[in-house]
């Protein structure tokens, strides 16, 4: 006779979330903070609301940071000393992974056995740490890459620096070791299988969400007044990190082309650029301002610091159209947030943006990065009120399909699945 004991895994009690290179406490749009920060913080809060404790491990970048910070009830952020107390470039972080891993493992060692039920790592650096934690703690590893080196290197902006081979190898190792790989879109799932040899059975597609309580339609007139913009302005906006990958230069080139075609537009056109230098953009932090000067659009361009909370909502509401011209995006949270505010999006037809933007319904997808193509698309939305209004309605409807609650439900289902399949969960004893 065979007797089977099977632990029915539903949801974890406590998970360790690894985010080595950027903290969910940081303001998106600065340094390396961006959509991943939003993803980590929003899903952590949603999990805590469902009774799942979340501890986020991130590298300490200042001696003034307390060891532990409560992000929300049930969500703590642990600052792990690893290297100097200062921000480091991502290329410098692999040398600090041993110190970071030691800090993570030491934290668990002071707890009762089985303290964490699962590890969820974000980005390949965290995946390297998660791989070791998985082996030490005997729990499943779920990994989200957010971006992939091989995909980025295949779509580099002019003058951008390719991702190093060390990252490619690191990603391949994590893909091979993770129990489940969470991706944003089916496109990314295909890339993992085709480019990295991921096992299809290990890949799960979970779309990111949007905070529909915060990002919602509102008064465009009030938003413009708050930013000091004329009510009749034609406003084109970009929000995000200033780096070649995000391609804000495409918007400036398109704006210059619009003014060449219609010089009278200069008195009404406003190009809003909200964000700070990041990544390879730090090598030439003033390059975008210099480009605006060379193109003759500096007089219609306004540079804003990274915007958060209601200030970011105001930028979206003030705009006639939000541009997302990235050379690669695993999804594109900016596109979703803008649409939730009732603002159409013109985006590059790359990566996950065709999922984030419903072409011809919530915005437009541009197949190239050519200035003429972008000028055509921006003009069609911003200069034709009927088109803009129709797309604005579609934008709100499309964004409502996405929520962090739905994302979190799918993640918890993936966690349970990974736990049920983890070695040692199902035991059989012959009698």
Annotated binding site for 1D-myo-inositol 3-phosphate: 21, 32-37, 90, 123, 147, 167
Annotated binding site for UDP-N-acetyl-alpha-D-glucosamine: 27-28, 35, 241, 246, 307, 329, 337
Residue pointed to by tokens 């700070």: 276
Residues forming a β-bridge with 3? 429
Annotated binding site for Mg(2+): 316-317, 319, 343
74 φ/ψ angles, rounded to the nearest 5 degrees: 90, 0
Residue pointed to by tokens 């999006």: 345
Annotated binding site: 21, 27-28, 32-37, 90, 123, 147, 167, 241, 246, 307, 316-317, 319, 329, 337, 343
Task: Quote the CA–CA distance of 140 and 419 in Å, as a whole number.
Answer: 6
């Amino acid at each position: 006779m065979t007797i089977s004991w099977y632990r029915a895994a539903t949801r974890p009690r406590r998970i360790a979330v690894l985010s080595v290179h950027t903290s969910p406490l940081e303001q998106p749009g600065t340094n390396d903070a961006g959509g991943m920060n939003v993803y980590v913080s929003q899903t952590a809060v949603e999990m805590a609301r469902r009774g799942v404790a979340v501890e986020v491990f991130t590298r300490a970048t200042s001696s003034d940071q307390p060891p532990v910070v409560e992000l929300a009830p049930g969500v703590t952020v642990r600052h792990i000393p690893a290297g100097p107390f200062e921000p480091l470039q991502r290329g410098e972080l692999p040398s600090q992974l041993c110190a970071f891993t030691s800090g993570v493992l030491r934290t668990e060692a002071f707890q009762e056995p089985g303290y964490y039920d699962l590890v969820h790592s974000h980005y390949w650096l965290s995946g390297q740490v998660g791989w070791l934690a998985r082996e030490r703690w005997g729990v499943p590893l779920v990994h989200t890459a957010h971006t992939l080196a091989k995909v980025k290197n295949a779509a580099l902006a002019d003058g951008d620096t390719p991702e190093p081979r060390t990252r490619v190898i690191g990603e391949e190792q994590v893909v091979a070791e993770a129990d489940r790989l969470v991706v944003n879109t089916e496109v990314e799932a295909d890339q993992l299988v085709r480019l990295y040899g991921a096992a299809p059975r290990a890949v799960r597609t979970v779309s990111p969400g949007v905070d529909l309580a915060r990002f919602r339609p509102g008064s465009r007139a009030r938003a413009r007044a708050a930013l000091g913009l004329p009510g009749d302005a034609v406003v084109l906006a970009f929000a995000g990190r200033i780096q070649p990958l995000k391609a804000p230069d495409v918007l400036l080139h398109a704006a210059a082309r619009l003014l060449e075609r219609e010089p009278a537009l200069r008195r009404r056109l406003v190009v809003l650029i909200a964000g700070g230098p990041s990544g390879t953009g730090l090598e030439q932090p003033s390059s975008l301002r210099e480009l605006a000067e060379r193109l003759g659009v500096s007089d219609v361009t306004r540079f804003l610091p990274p915007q958060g909370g209601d200030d970011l909502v105001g930028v979206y509401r003030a705009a006639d159209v939000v541009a997302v011209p990235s050379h690669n995006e695993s999804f594109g949270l900016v596109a979703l947030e803008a649409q939730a505010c009732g603002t159409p999006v013109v985006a590059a037809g790359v990566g996950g943006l065709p999922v984030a933007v419903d072409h011809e319904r919530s915005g437009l997808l541009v197949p190239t990065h050519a200035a003429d193509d972008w000028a055509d698309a921006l003009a069609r939305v911003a200069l034709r009120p009927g088109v803009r209004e129709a797309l604005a309605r579609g934008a709100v409807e499309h964004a409502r399909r996405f929520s962090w609650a739905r994302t979190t439900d799918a993640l918890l289902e993936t966690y349970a699945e990974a736990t049920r399949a983890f070695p040692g969960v199902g035991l059989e004893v012959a009698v």
